[in-house]
Amino acid sequence: MSLKSKLSAAVAVTSSRSTLCSGFEPNRPGAGVLLVIGGLARRLLWCLLPLAAAATAQASDIVFTSNREGGIFQLYRMAEDGSSVKRATAEAMEAQQFDLSPDRKKAVFVSVRAGQPDLYIADLRTGQVTQLTNDAAMEATPIWSPDGKSVAYQSYLSRRPALYIINVDGTGHRKLTDEKGEESMPAFSPDGRKLAYVVTMGRRQAQIRTVDLESGKSTVIGAEPSVGLESGPRWSPDGSHLVYVMLKDDVTHIYTMRADGSERRALTTGEDKNNEPNWSVDGRQIVFLSIRKPSNRQAIYAMSEDGSRQRELVGGPEEHMLARWTPDHRSLYFMRFHRGAGQIFVASADGSDIRKVSSGSGYDAEFAFVSDANKAPTFAAR
């Protein structure tokens, strides 16, 4: 089956409104996001909600999802050079949209059983899995709090996409806000006191807001009144700024603003489509994806935190996505559509010396780094 055919069969986890992808061509790599329910192939692109955050230690292992055994996407672990690939859960089970705990010892993820997407937690040391949510609603995009005690996520429990938080032991479940719009893209501040997120009101308005997790007070920090569709807020390592994407007039650009919403600045301009920005660990650089002429292919770029020194790191005839510097900033890991499937590659931090990390013919997707201190046994794929 071709990649295009597989994508046409995919079922979106979140609605096109809540993921802000309605303005893009759904079957063009680099244009939108389709997340898969039921193990079909998928694309992970700019409006994908934030994936696992970078670790604070050097990467030695990589946790990732793949359908390399055929059928469903599962959670795997491998060495940073692509060797020693083993399943990270004791039993075979679907895993999507995962996030690693701050100590890198556990992973929270979405799995569909009996047609119901719920949240699960896998212990990466033992492979044992615990169900975290169990209700009739669809859950998506879980993220760990910085202290590792709770998980924020999107749920349709109130009939529309809203954000909830739950303790990792399953207690303390509560709705975070009473917004009238659709809530998505949660992102904890580094100190864990606030959660940035997006509220979508119809097809033309999407604003970034924050909620104080102690008081419950919600604050609009995006443009007011809304001038475009804001998405993908990500906190700087020191919590002073956020980087995000704005869709306006069918063009996406990268912006930054202070945590209180002041000093908004466009870092990219022109007709290029720029998206998926990620901070370097020191907060001085931003790696991002960009579709630029004449290639019209999604390539990997980097720039200084103020938008200066924009340069292409990895380009070529293939589509690229999910670019992440390792915490020590020596290497750049990314996904590339290679021979009809998503594959993980690594390069030097400046984009040189590209090497393929993925092995086999499967479709490797989301990935995150694990530190040496937390090496753990994994289970052989069967």
CATH number of the domain within which 225 lies = 2.120.10.30
Q: Cα dist. 363→6, 113, 127, 341, 378 in Å?
A: 11, 21, 22, 5, 20
Whether 178 shows a pLDDT value over 70: the answer reads yes
Q: What is the mean pLDDT of residues 268-289?
A: 95
User: pLDDT: is 14 or 133 the higher one?
Assistant: 133
Domain limits at 139?
Answer: 3-374
pLDDT-based confidence at residue 340 (cuts at 50, 70, 90): confident
Residue 36: predicted pLDDT: 30
Closest CA to 140 of 15, 42, 234, 247: 15
Domains contained in the chain, number: 1
Domain-embedded: residue 379: no
Residue 25: predicted pLDDT: 30
Beta bridge partners of 166: 151
Domain-embedded: residue 240: yes
Residue 37: predicted pLDDT: 28
Helix (H), strand (E) at residue 7:
helix 3-8
Q: Would you call 19 helix, strand, or coil by DSSP?
A: helix
Given a contact cutoff of 8 angstroms between Cβ atoms, the answer to whether 65 and 95 are in contact is: yes
User: pLDDT: is 190 or 31 the higher one?
Assistant: 190
Given a contact cutoff of 8 angstroms between Cβ atoms, the answer to whether 303 and 310 are in contact is: yes
Based on its alpha-carbon atoms, the radius of gyration of the chain, rounded to whole angstroms, reads 19
Residue 260: predicted pLDDT: 96
Domain-embedded: residue 27: yes
User: pLDDT: is 114 or 68 the higher one?
Assistant: 68
Domain-embedded: residue 21: yes
Domain-embedded: residue 22: yes
Domain-embedded: residue 382: no
* Token pair for 351: 């984009």
Given a contact cutoff of 8 angstroms between Cβ atoms, the answer to whether 109 and 144 are in contact is: no
Rounded (to 5) percent helix, strand, coil in the chain? 5, 45, 50
Domain-embedded: residue 380: no
Tell me the one-letter amino acid at 303: M
Out of 52-56, 118-122, 303-307, pick the least confident: 52-56
Out of 24-38, 60-74, 118-132, 243-257, pick the least confident: 24-38
Q: What is the mean pLDDT of residues 329-357?
A: 91
Domain-embedded: residue 116: yes
Out of 26-30, 71-75, 243-247, pick the least confident: 26-30
Overall pTM > 0.85: no
